[in-house]
Amino acid sequence: MSIDAMVKRIEELKAEKDAVILSHNYQLPEVQRIADFVGDSLELAQKARDVSQSVIVFCGVHFMAETAALLSPEKTVLLPVMEAGCPMADMIDAPGLASMRAAHPDALVVCYVNSTAQVKAMSDVCCTSANAHGVVARIDPDSEVIFVPDRYLGMQVEKRTGRSLIKWPGYCPTHAKLVVEHVERARREHPGAPVIVHPESRPDVCEAADAVLSTGGMCRFARETSAPVVIVGTEVGLIDRLERENPAKKFVPLDERATCPNMKKTRLENVMAALETRHGRVTIAEPIASQARRAVEEMFASGRIRKAKY
C-alpha cells in the first residue's frame, strides 16, 4: 500500500472509530505528520484528557500511553506497537524503589514521568523535565528527597534548587550518546550558533551548552531566538517539528546518531492496524491506577507536597 493510500485510510478510520492520533516529538516524520497533535509526553497526556474522541491512538512508548490512560480512564488508549518501551523507565522497578524507600523511610519520592505506572504508584509526586525543579522546590527543605529514575535530570534539579537528592542511577541511553566532543565540533562547524541540550544529557554536556531546556523549552527557544542556526542536543526526531514550526531557521542535531530505537518502531502500517483492530489497548489495574494518578495529579497541584499514604 502506498503512503498516500495509507494516510487516506487512516483518515477514514479516524472518523469511523471516533479516534484521535497523538504523536510524540521523537516519532518518525511521517507519523508526526498524520497526527492531530504532536508534543512531549505530558502535553500529549493532557491533550488525551481534553479531546472529545473516545479512542486515542498514542504514537510513543509504553509509559506515555499509560500516563494518558491514567488521566483518561474512560477513554480507549491504543499503543500501536506494544514492544515500544523506554529503557530508562525499565531501569527501575517496584522492588527497587521499595528498597530505596526502606533505606530512607522519611524521604519523599519524586518520580520523573518517564517511569512505569507501578513506580508512579509508589511515589509521592511526578515531575517532567520542565517542572522537576519546581516540584522539588515544593517539598519541605528539611525533608529528604528520593529522585527516580533519571540521575542526570536529578543532577540538573540539584543545580537549580541547591538541594541534594538521593538519586536512582538511571539514565536515557539516547541522550547519554551526546558527549562534550559533539558540542566542541558543533561550535567549530557553526560558529555563533547557540547550543541547546535536554536535561537528560550528561552533566558535562549540559555544562558545555548555552542552555539546558525541556522539549517545550526548546520549542519556545526556537521560536524566540534571532539566531538563524541552532544546535539541538536531544533525540533527532524533534528537528522535524522545529523545522516545521520555524521554516526560516536551521536546526542542526548535536549528533544525528541520537535516535531512540523504541520511538522509531511505530510506522504508518501500525497506526492503521491499531485503528482497524483496536489492538494494543493500554489499561492499568487498580489500585495501581488510582495511586499513580494521585502522583501525577499532585504534580499539577500547588503548595507543599506531603508524604502520600501508600
Binding-site ranges for ligand SF4 (CB under 6 A): 26, 61, 86-88, 114, 172-174, 235, 260, 262-263
Q: In angstroms, rounded to a whole number, what is the distance separating the alpha carbons of residues 121 and 165?
A: 20
Q: Which of 202, 163, 57 is nearest to 65 (CA)?
A: 57
Q: Is the peptide bond before 287 cis (omega within 30 degrees of 0)?
A: yes
Nearer of residues 173 and 203 to ligand SF4, judged by Cβ: 173
Q: In angstroms, rounded to a whole number, what is the distance separating the alpha carbons of residues 8 and 95?
A: 46
Q: Is 241 exposed, middle or buried (0-12, 13-18, 19+ CB in 10 A)?
A: buried
Q: How far is the CB of 7 from ligand SF4 (least distance, A)?
A: 25
Q: How far is the CB of 94 from ligand SF4 (least distance, A)?
A: 19
3-state secondary structure of 293: helix
Q: Which of 212, 223, 217, 257 is nearest to 237 (CA)?
A: 257
Nearer of residues 101 and 265 to ligand SF4, judged by Cβ: 265
Q: How far is the CB of 170 from ligand SF4 (least distance, A)?
A: 9
Q: How far is the CB of 145 from ligand SF4 (least distance, A)?
A: 21
Count CB-CB contacts under 10 A for residue 8: 12
Nearer of residues 124 and 150 to ligand SF4, judged by Cβ: 150
Nearer of residues 10 and 197 to ligand SF4, judged by Cβ: 197
Strand pairing of 250-253 and 108-112?
Answer: unpaired
Nearer of residues 148 and 305 to ligand SF4, judged by Cβ: 148
Q: How far is the CB of 205 from ligand SF4 (least distance, A)?
A: 14
Neighbouring-strand partners of residue 110: 125, 147
Q: Is 102 exposed, middle or buried (0-12, 13-18, 19+ CB in 10 A)?
A: exposed
Nearer of residues 138 and 241 to ligand SF4, judged by Cβ: 241
Neighbouring-strand partners of residue 125: 110
Q: How far is the CB of 58 from ligand SF4 (least distance, A)?
A: 13
Nearer of residues 107 and 128 to ligand SF4, judged by Cβ: 128
Neighbouring-strand partners of residue 195: 231
Task: Give the relative orientation of helices 288-300 and 62-71 as an angle to the nearest 10 degrees.
Answer: 80
Neighbouring-strand partners of residue 212: 197
Q: How far is the CB of 231 from ligand SF4 (least distance, A)?
A: 18
Q: In angstroms, rounded to a whole number, what is the distance separating the alpha carbons of residues 62 and 116?
A: 8
Q: How far is the CB of 262 from ligand SF4 (least distance, A)?
A: 5
Nearer of residues 14 and 233 to ligand SF4, judged by Cβ: 233
Q: In angstroms, rounded to a whole number, what is the distance separating the alpha carbons of residues 148 and 168?
A: 5
